[in-house]
Structure formats: structure tokens, C-alpha cells
Homo-oligomer: A and B are copies of this chain.
Amino acid sequence: MTPLKSPSSALLTDLYELTMAAAYFERRLDCRATFELFIRSLPPERGYLVAAGIDAAVDYLEDLRFTERDIRFLREHPAFRTISSGFFKYLRTFRFSGEVSAVEEGSLIFAEEPVLQVTAPVIEAQVVETYLLSLINFETLVASKAARIVGAARGRRVLEFGSRRAHGPEAGVRAARAAYVGGCDATSNVMAGCLFSIPIAGTAAHSWTQVFPSERESFEALLETFPETAILLIDTYDPMAAAEIAVSLGRPVPGVRIDSGDLLDISRRVREILDRRGASATKIVASGDLNEDKIESLVQRGAPIDSFGVGTDLSTSRDAPALNVVYKLVETERGGLVDYKAKFSPDKIGWPGRKQVFRFLRQGKMDFDLIARASETHPEGEPLLRRVMENGRRVAPHRALAEVRAAAMANLMRLPKAYRALRTAPEYPVRKSTALQELLDKAREQLAAGPRGSTTS
């Protein structure tokens, strides 16, 4: 009964994607369509986003198919009562056969910049919308949050501990992956460690301490079992008393964790105890509802904390738990004739046509981005969108996640510091090319004149 057991992911979509698919099929509307996925605006206090989720998106598109069980469910559902059997026959051989371009995972992206661009027969390009949005929304959200937290930690280790508060067990795995892309050093999520070769880390729970007759016995037992890696949780009763116990056991203590109270004060007092008793190699891990603001404050005030364990705020991106991410039709093509699709409403403009994002550097630092038509060339700018799928097959090589993470870290270093501020960062300059502006103006004119929302180049 759980999604984990379900045989196929083709039903992981909104009903309207499939009813529209059926209607496209019934009406024989077989144009090729290009959709672009982008974030309309950045959440409050975000000066940039770190793109993630693209690798899983390509996996999904490669594997997408409808099982007999899926098809039976749809055929028997009242929503499809008026649909002919031809459609269900079509679903049986349905594959995603399109072209996809995307920014590399770990790229920095900004509002309105296409992250993913899908060109395929309209049914194929349409039905994948929900899944792609959900993947890229979530992984980008968490990678971006992680980058803020890691930045605030100024080189101290950041451990992702958020699985228990992630939005379901599967979200915990995705969050662990994205947090690593955003710069975290390790995750507590074992599945993520297994699937993505991410370093895994952990300490012990209060229950471990409580099961034993005394705190001392619980510490001894953990150190005996894991002499080189045990991190003792010292705040079950009194952290300072526990630190004294830890250093009195006559064996090296790899680390201690403090999970509550005034982390600045307690970490200082615990560090003092450890150092006084010759345990200066013992690391201090701090956790307990941490986020980038609290970490920034602890680091600025010189808390002697070696690693921060960050949970809920990271795995849910608590202050901004969703991106304003959309997937919009930008052009259709039929028999060689291209129609550019624009949308005009007071608050939302949909820019027509396939695009490319060019990034311009100045002395090795990011200067500005230019959103242009895909056909433009700007030799000085670095094009961000690269082909990742052709004819429904992956063409970009899988990259090891450590490599993706390293690329993200390098990208962040190229972003001038002001844009990396935790609060009130200025808006990074993203311009539109003259050609793109002209295409929009043309669409606007044609919309005023005749058939709505399309323009022919």
C-alpha cells in the first residue's frame, strides 16, 4: 500500500496531465512542444539557488512507462469514460522520446532562468510536468538551504540530520542528497549513503544513555563498541557532569554531542573541561533546531563547536518550504512551422521561445546573466543549458555526487560575496537579450491583433 511498493511512477502525476494527454490524442494534436522549467521568483532572503534534482529527472524520463496495472486503473476510471481504446493502446508503448537541456546540478540559478528545457511530442512533454516540478523544486530547495547553512558555518563541518522531519522517508533520502550537493559534509541517512555514496555520520540517542543503569556505563559501552568513532551524547542530564564522566573513563573520546540548552555557553564549558583533562582532540558536535542564523551567531561569537548537526530547518527548508517553480510552454512546432508562446497577465509574463542562459564573468567572478533566445551566440558568456537527453536517452554522463558538490562549491566561490549574504542580499543582475525582448513584443502585438498567445517567427 505504500508508494515504495508501487510498480511504476507513471501515475505519480496530476490527473490533468493525463486527461490533457488523452484529449491531445483524441484530437490528434501531435505537434512538438517545448516547455521550460524555471523559478518565477526567489524566496525571501535567498540571493541565489543551487540547482539540484536534474539527475533524478533524467532517470525518471528514461524509465517512464505505463504498466498494465496503471493502464487498467485509468481505463476503468470515470474520468476517462469518454476516451477511446486507442489512447490506452498508445499508453502501452508510451516512452519519453524527447530532447532535454538542463543546467548542471550544482549550478547557481536565479529567478526566471530556465533550469530544464523539454522538447518532445506534446503529450510526452506535458505528462512529465508534475514529477519534474516536484523533483527539482525539492532538491533545489534543500541544496540552496544547505549552501546558506554551510556558508554560515565558515568551514566547520555541517551534518544533515533531518530525515525524521523530512516529508516522508523518501523525502529524507532526497534531502540528504541535495544537502550534500549544497555543501554538507555528511548525512545521517543510511539509504542516501548507500544510493549516492554520501558520507554518513551519527552519534547516539538519549535512549542509549537511558537504557543503562548509569550514564557512565552507557558511555563505556559505546566507546568499547566504537573506540574510534563514538560520539557521546552528553545532555541527557547535565552536559558538564557528563563531560567530566567522559574524560574520566581512561580512554580517548572521539567526540561529544550537545543537543539542547545554550549551545554557546555549554560548548565553552564543555571545551574547557575537555581541554583541562587533556582531551583536546575530542570534537564537539552541536545540534538541536539549528539553522543558518543560529549557526552564524554561534560562529561569530566563537563557540568551540567542530560540527553542526542540522535537521528540520534543512530537510524541510523551514523558512521557505517551496519554490515558486513552474513549467511553461514556450513554443510548438508542427511541419517545420514554429509558434512562439507567450503569456501576459498583470503580474506574470511568460517569455516566448526556447532560451539559453549566458553567464558573464569579470575577473573570475560572476558579473551578470543574460537570458537570450536559444539561437543566439554570446562568445563572452558561458551557456548554462546543456543537452542532457536526446531521443529520450541520457547523453550527459552521470557525475559522481562528490564532483557535483565540488562544482557547487566552486560556483559559490565565483559568486561575489554580497549575493551570498544571509539577509537582504542584493538582486543578482539577470538581463534579457534584445532578441528575446523583440520576440516578446512581437507576441504581444500579435496577441492584440488576432489568434491569442502565438507568434510565428
Contacts and interface: CB of A to CB of B under 8 A. Distances in A.
Interface of A: 1-4, 6, 9, 11-20, 22-24, 26-27, 29, 31, 33, 35, 55-56, 59-60, 70, 73-74, 77-79, 81-83, 122, 126, 129-131, 133-135, 137-139, 141, 161, 163-175, 188-191, 193-196, 200-215, 221-222, 224-229, 235-237, 260-261, 312, 316-318, 321-323, 325, 328-329, 332, 341, 343-348, 447, 451-454
Kindly list the 5 A-B residue pairs having the minimum CB-CB distance in the complex, ordered from nearest.
A16-B202, A15-B202, A167-B167, A170-B170, A207-B329
Given A79-B200, A236-B343, A171 B173 contact: no
Contact of A163 (B134, B210, B214, B323): B134
Contacts of A191: 3, 6, 11-13
Contacts of A228: 81-82
A77 B193 contact: yes
Given A11-B193, A73-B193, A82-B226, 17 more contacts: A12-B163, A12-B172, A15-B193, A19-B226, A23-B221, A33-B207, A129-B205, A130-B163, A130-B169, A131-B169, A134-B163, A134-B171, A164-B325, A207-B341, A214-B451, A237-B344, A261-B346
A11 B166 contact: no
A170 to B, nearest CB: 4
Contacts of A208: 20, 23
Given A3-B195, A14-B164, A31 B211 contact: yes
23 contacts: A1-B59, A3-B173, A4-B9, A12-B173, A15-B189, A15-B200, A16-B204, A17-B202, A20-B204, A23-B208, A23-B221, A79-B226, A79-B229, A82-B228, A130-B163, A130-B169, A130-B172, A134-B165, A167-B174, A206-B328, A210-B453, A237-B344, A237-B452
A309 to B, nearest CB: 10
Contacts of A207: 20, 33, 35, 126, 328-329, 341
Contact of A188 (B15, B189, B318): B15
B190 A18 contact: yes
Contact of A23 (B1, B171, B175, B225): B225
Contacts of A345: 235, 237, 260-261
Nearest to A169: B12
A11 B190 contact: yes
Contacts of A215: 452
A322 B329 contact: no
Nearest to A212: B29
A295 B279 CA distance: 59
A168 B170 contact: yes
Contact of A322 (B139, B225, B312): B312
Contacts of A22: 225
Nearest to A16: B202
A195 to B, nearest CB: 6
Nearest to A33: B211
Nearest to A209: B453
B170 A206 contact: no
B225 A169 contact: no
Contacts of A203: 16
Contacts of A81: 228
Contact of A161 (B14, B173, B235): B14
Nearest to A334: B211
Contacts of A56: 1-2
A195 B133 contact: no
A427 B267 CA distance: 36
Given A165-B322, A214-B451, A23 B193 contact: no
Contacts of A188: 14-16
B4 A170 contact: yes
